Structure 1
Amino acid sequence: MLTFTGYNVENVKDPFGILTGKRYEFVVQLDVPEDDELYVENGVSARAIIKVDEDQVSIVSYDLQETTSGQLLDFDMEEDEEEALLLFCKEHLPE
């Protein structure tokens, strides 16, 4: 199971007003054990776009990246890890 150690969140503006709901960009730092396939020496972060539309919250997209360089990693999260990320983001949505 992943452990989240920090995060940043920003509102994603829709300059044309064509998207429904609100979008937020989360960058969540992950604590990945050395024996996990996701482990990278310089740290791993998940960059996720979260959609909030009325009472529905969902992940639109996410990428895993090396924390220090921002280089994209060619890995996907397992289903339970995606659910944990979504729950974390739901709990940390801006007011």
Structure 2
Amino acid sequence: MTITEYSVEQIKDPFGIVPGARYEFILNIEVDEDDELYSENGLYIRAIYGVQEEKSGLVKYELYERGVDKYLDFELEDDEIAEVEKFCREHLE
């Protein structure tokens, strides 16, 4: 899995329900053709990254097929989740 481009935006919480700050990352990814996730349209990951004083990290992620925004019910492997979390941590605005 290779992250080819990304965008990040802070999620507004006007009521202060969620502690800390939340950021939504959209990560365009490429996977090998022999990978079960492969799609001709391409893929992206919608990742929510939380930042608090005591703890920061990946809150959740979802996989989508690019172009049609179709949700894919797949889970990333542990090393891929760690890669996404590291990427988000290093690319916070």
Normalising by structure 1, we get a TM-score of: 0.93
Matches within 5 A, 1:1-95: 2-54=1-53, 56-94=55-93
Shift, 1:47, TM fit? 0.2
Superposed CA offset, 1:14-68 (max 9, x none): 0101211100000001111100011011001000111011252211111000111
RMSD value, Cα: 1.0
Q: What residue identity is the alignment partner of 1:6?
A: E
Alignment identity in percent? 49
Alignment gaps of 5+ in structure 2 = none
Alignment gaps of 5+ in structure 1 = none
Number of aligned residue pairs: 93
Normalising by structure 2, we get a TM-score of: 0.95
Distance in 1 separating the partners of 2:15 and 2:66: 31
Distance in 1 separating the partners of 2:6 and 2:66: 11
